[in-house]
Structure 1
Amino acid sequence: MDAPPPHAPPTGTPRRADLKVQGGGATADRDRFRVSRVAIWGVVALGLAQGACLLSFILLLSKVVELLEPTGVGFAAEREYRQSLAACAVLAGLGVALGVLRAVEFSVTERAGYAVVRRLRMEMYAHLQRMLPAHLLHRARGGLLLRLTGDLSMLRMWLSRGQLQGCSAAITLAAGLVAAFILSWPMACSLLAVLSLGAVASLSSGQAMRSATRTMRRRRSLVIGNITEQINALAVTQVAGRTGGEFARLSRQNDSLNRALVRVANLRGRLRGLATGTSMVATAAVVATGVVEARRGEVLPATVLLEVLVARFLTRSVRTLGLMHDYWHRGTVSRQKILDFLASSSRGIESSLLAPLRVRRGEIRFNDVTVEGALDGLTVLAEPGTVVAITGGAGSGATAVLDVVARLVDPDGGAVIIDDQDLAETSPSSIGRAVGMVGPDLPLMRGTVTRNLTYSARSSTPAEVQRVAFGLGLHQTLGRVGAAGVDEWLVEGGQNVSPADRQLIAVGRALMGNPPILLLNRPFEGLDPASRILARAMVLRHRGTVLWCTEDPEDLAEADVIWVLEGGVLTEVKAGSAYRAEQWTTRNHEESRWPATT
């Protein structure tokens, strides 16, 4: 009938029973992003094991180097030789163990990050499911997709490779520094000094990285949103001859995004360069200190080489810790965006205290129902089992009547009572089992025709599916598309079948399972006369209460009651029999003006 006028998204007031679930402040926010304790302690244990292996490797290697110059002769020299070979075997074992530990560490850290992301993605999707159409009215699809994909990926990088792998790297670095101090404290001090300077240099780029990341995210969201819109409206662009203009628009957005990505890449490259440079400069500082110490006779050349080896061993740990800053900035921005999304308007978490909607007779009572910009104090009763036609011009509010019953819109005032149950006090998830609905904003889903027909009534039998399909003539119309019939595969929105077939499938979906309440918004739009007759007959055979938005005189003539709305106000309630009598009188009057000629 009419599209609901735009209005500000409702803020939504959480029920008292839901406050405990939704509340919690900063503690609840931390819990959302918290890695499991098992994973944390596992990573700590792996880090300690790697540190122990590294420390043992360095000290044992130092012992082997000492044994390269035998201190004894004869049997003593042979014993030192055998000890050297045994130590080499142990070194090989430590190397293998270190490699295995690092492989396990990577697997554990990645798995822990994926676990948090999975939990968050489902929480975000549950929040999305609780959002009403009005809540999504001012949200770009590009931003929503970025929340559920890119933001979670960035957060996972921070959790897995920043926090957990950084923790392990810090433990390994500490073990390496202990080994360095055991070998030579002056060279160890020079190594520590260079590493500290590298950390300070990395931290200095923090503000620039945060700003660049936010800019990049905004521009990426614009590009994703534009591409999503163009995919959904490609035919409009082609028919309007706007392909060139849209190409130029996307090109400008893409150039802007590319500049932002290059800026982020430059800053990330600087951080990676700092990490690599710090490692190399640390090696040079160790060598320089070793040269001075060797000249003074404080250390042997072999000790200098061992210190250099320690510095090289720590390269991976230094690089991991250097990249933590990058991961932290990207993860922090993503974390805040995720929290903002979870704090956005929705109906709130469904309370277990809410009773399910139980429809026995199908009486629907509107008590002073008001929807800002759509309905103004609607008070009317739909008797059980009646067919109520709702009609009116554009902006009459007829669509809003259906939306409040389906709980796609929550009224700003008044109440909808179904069989003595206040709809606002019932579980929203139970609405779908009691209501079947057809509307222009309810597209088909990807999958077979059967999946779409039984989407609400999952327990429907194949016989029921065939009954509805044959009743609507789907077996004939789909037969023209392919031989699959109700097993025909539909792409997103059912774009691979004709608009008439899509409408028939939508009507069948609403009728499947015989819901006690049927909400129809221009259900026969685009149907040919033969299909319209079949679909109308199926609707009229339905046993239940029907609210039917239409302006078609043939549809109005089938109604038991007609509600006439203008500007959101109910102006007239007319019996269907009275309307049919008026139609009959009008038709006879018109025929009498043109008498038959002989």
Structure 2
Amino acid sequence: MGIGTEQNAAEEKGKVTRTTVRYFTGLLQAAGMPRLVLAAAILLSLVGAVTGLVVPLITGRFIDSFSTDSFDLRMVASLAALFLLEAVASGLSYYMLAYVGNQMVNKIRKRLWTKVLSLPVPFFDRHRSAETMSRVTNDTNEIKTLITDHLIAFCSNLLTVIGAVAILFYLDWQMTLIILVAVPVGFGILMPIGGKMYKISISMYGQLAQLSAMLTQVISEIRLVKASNAERKEEKSGFGDMDSLYRFGMKEAKINAVLVPLMSMVMVVLLVVIIGYGGVRVSSGALSAGELVSFILLLFQIMFPFSQFATFYSQLQKVMAATERLRLILEYRSEGDDRAVRPAPEGHRDLRFEDVTFAYHEGETILSEVTFSIPAKKVTALVGPSGSGKTTIFSLIERFYAPSGGDIVFGSESIRDYSLDSWRRKIGYVSQDSPLMTGSIRDNIVYGREEPVTDEEVAEAARLAYAQGFIESLPRGYETEVGERGIQLSGGQRQRVAIARALLRQPDILLLDEATASLDSDSEHEVQKALGNLMIERTTVVIAHRLSTVVAADQIIVLEHGRVTGSGTHEELLDSHPSYAEWAKKQFQTGEQ
């Protein structure tokens, strides 16, 4: 589902429009309601509600029968049967409702997860990962709570109230009018408080997401925290977020502290008035004792649901706030929403940047009218000082971002004309930090491959990446767990696993971000040979921080301040590019020393 510019702007500023109940019901319908189970749950709920209405009437008659010195066993048996029926109907209704709620929320979570995975990289640049995680878990849980614990109960309670009021009118319309006076009083209390609850809820969810983001970041970088003696700083930061969440929780508690006693007070006052006035009616003979008991029991049938209406309304406001946050994800433009479906062509073609301009943020240009060609089946190196745009070029090739101006052409066609999935299948990427996923070494080597991969293929990729030796020396070999973010492996080992993954992918275009930076001299020599074999008959682009690793490149592109200032072989640039010659002089002299 697309989203307009105005909505994106609202997303960035954190301003949202209040979600309507219609959008929420549409979200539930899109989740695929199990209608038969829901209908059965509603039916059983209604059976329980009707049974609850019949019980007071039979109880009243039972009490009146005492006054005639008779004891009807059939009436006692009927009451027992009604109690049992109400209990069974309520239990089954709750279980079916729990099934409906859990199934629908499970589908909503799956839809959200699919959507999150399809979101473009800029979304994750602007939103902390834990905040997004909070939307998928905590916010959807509020929806489940509403469906399971409140939604159908609200419907059955509504029927109970309507039925009870009708019977009360039948028993004594004068006392019933007194009861109805309490209804506008109750709604007068509910409406203004509900609006405050909505505002507090949406702020509390935002604060909870912020706390989750802080905890995730600190725990994932706990070694940096300890090495920097930053425990007290992070403790203070965490306490600040927790205190903010505490204050929001107390604001919510204040509202409930006002809401619940007020509703209870209205009900108690009503009950006292009814008992007093009912006693007068009984003494005058206008009402029997049994009818008064029936009246009071029916009044309780109204009081309990009416108090639950307050809870339901409060929960509904919380769910509206949660749904608003989900809506911002569901309506965000997905990656590849241009609907390009043509697969990228097989084989090799030149890749060309044509007047490409790019900025992560408006007014902060990273690349400015960059034009150069990457020849097919050749090695092209990108060199230049930090911040010159080398990594950004890789991101544009992988289509993590789209150019602000100009185009990137594969052969004679824009890469935007190809489906995103097919284009990325042509690319293998090995970065400096070699990210690994939690799981085994084998899992990480085959990561991203949908088709089955044999053990022989995995072993061959590891051998070519010079990773086979250290893997087989581990007690569990390829089934060794790498730990969170690969923490159980050394930097060089992680790098070689990442290279094995790229080898197994067999890409047409190879992107290497100083792929040997984390290796010792012996490992680097071996992996350089492996990469040399991998580069054969492949279009290779290398980000080079050490010029010694790219002196043999077919072409070197020099980037400075987001512009191409030179291109050629190493020897050509030494003669024609002063800055390159100066870098080379400094690095090679340092290397000799």
Q: TM-score range by the shorter chain?
A: 0.7 to 0.9
Match of 2:401 in 1: 409
Q: Which amino acid aligns with 2:391?
A: T
CA–CA distance in 1 between the matches of 2:321 and 2:554?
A: 57
Match of 2:27 in 1: 32
1:539 matched to 2:525? The reply is: no
Distance 1:400 1:118, change over 3 A: same
What do residues 359-394 of structure 1 show as CA deviations (whole Å, max 9, x unaligned)? 312432222222222222232222222122221111
Residues 535-544 or 56-65, more deviating: 56-65
Cα drift, residue 327 of structure 1:
0.7
Distance 1:170 1:259, change over 3 A: same
* Conserved? CA contact 1:364–1:419, under 8 Å: yes
Distance 1:180 1:224, change over 3 A: same
CA–CA distance in 2 between the matches of 1:181 and 1:565?
A: 86
CA–CA distance in 2 between the matches of 1:128 and 1:259?
A: 30
CA–CA distance in 2 between the matches of 1:298 and 1:310?
A: 18
Q: TM-score, normalised by structure 1?
A: 0.84
CA–CA distance in 2 between the matches of 1:37 and 1:461?
A: 41
Q: Which amino acid aligns with 1:129?
A: L
Distance 1:395 1:12, change over 3 A: farther
Give the secondary-structure state (helix, strand or coil) at the position aligned to 1:188. Answer: helix
Report 1:310-321 matches (<5 A): 310-321=298-309
CA–CA distance in 2 between the matches of 1:96 and 1:420?
A: 77
CA–CA distance in 1 between the matches of 2:259 and 2:345?
A: 61
* Conserved? CA contact 2:381–2:556, under 8 Å: yes
Give the secondary-structure state (helix, strand or coil) at the position aligned to 1:205. Answer: helix
1:360 matched to 2:347? The reply is: yes
Match of 1:300 in 2: 288
Cα drift, residue 59 of structure 1:
2.9
* Conserved? CA contact 1:440–1:521, under 8 Å: yes
Match of 2:467 in 1: 474
CA–CA distance in 1 between the matches of 2:24 and 2:338?
A: 19
What do residues 19-62 of structure 1 show as CA deviations (whole Å, max 9, x unaligned)? xxxxxx98777522447382664454334322322233233333
1:390 matched to 2:370? The reply is: no
Cα drift, residue 346 of structure 1:
4.5
Match of 1:20 in 2: none
CA–CA distance in 2 between the matches of 1:400 and 1:283?
A: 72
Q: Provide structure 2 residue ranges, at least 5 long, that are not aligned to the other structure.
A: 9-18, 360-364
Give the secondary-structure state (helix, strand or coil) at the position aligned to 2:352. Answer: strand
Q: Which amino acid aligns with 1:474?
A: A
* Conserved? CA contact 1:279–1:312, under 8 Å: no
CA–CA distance in 2 between the matches of 1:65 and 1:469?
A: 86
CA–CA distance in 2 between the matches of 1:49 and 1:355?
A: 57
CA–CA distance in 1 between the matches of 2:181 and 2:206?
A: 39
* Conserved? CA contact 1:40–1:164, under 8 Å: no
Question: Which of 20, 43, 46 in structure 2 is aligned with 1:48?
Answer: 46
Cα drift, residue 438 of structure 1:
1.6
What do residues 213-268 of structure 1 show as CA deviations (whole Å, max 9, x unaligned)? 23323332332222122112222222222211221222222222212211212322
* Conserved? CA contact 2:63–2:289, under 8 Å: no
What do residues 138-161 of structure 1 show as CA deviations (whole Å, max 9, x unaligned)? 323343232222222223333444
Question: Which of 319, 322, 337 in structure 2 is aligned with 1:334?
Answer: 322
RMSD (Å) for aligned C-alpha atoms? 3.2
* Conserved? CA contact 2:119–2:334, under 8 Å: yes
Match of 2:448 in 1: 456
Q: TM-score, normalised by structure 2?
A: 0.85
CA–CA distance in 2 between the matches of 1:230 and 1:317?
A: 46
Cα drift, residue 424 of structure 1:
0.9
* Conserved? CA contact 1:392–1:564, under 8 Å: yes
* Conserved? CA contact 2:198–2:317, under 8 Å: yes
1:126 matched to 2:114? The reply is: yes
CA–CA distance in 2 between the matches of 1:192 and 1:350?
A: 58
CA–CA distance in 1 between the matches of 2:213 and 2:429?
A: 29
* Conserved? CA contact 1:511–1:518, under 8 Å: no
Q: Which amino acid aligns with 2:556?
A: I
Cα drift, residue 581 of structure 1:
12
Q: Which amino acid aligns with 1:465?
A: V
Q: Which amino acid aligns with 1:525?
A: A
Question: Which of 407, 410, 417 in structure 2 is aligned with 1:418?
Answer: 410
Question: Which of 192, 196, 199 in structure 1 is aligned with 2:180?
Answer: 192
Distance 1:426 1:274, change over 3 A: farther
Distance 1:57 1:43, change over 3 A: same
| Percent identical residues | 20
Give the secondary-structure state (helix, strand or coil) at the position aligned to 2:126. Answer: coil
Report 1:489-528 matches (<5 A): 489-528=481-520
* Conserved? CA contact 1:356–1:426, under 8 Å: yes
* Conserved? CA contact 1:12–1:346, under 8 Å: no
Q: Which amino acid aligns with 2:62?
A: V
Pairs aligned (count):
557
Cα drift, residue 441 of structure 1:
6.7
* Conserved? CA contact 1:368–1:378, under 8 Å: yes
What do residues 58-89 of structure 1 show as CA deviations (whole Å, max 9, x unaligned)? 33333333443458xxxxx7xxx5xx322322
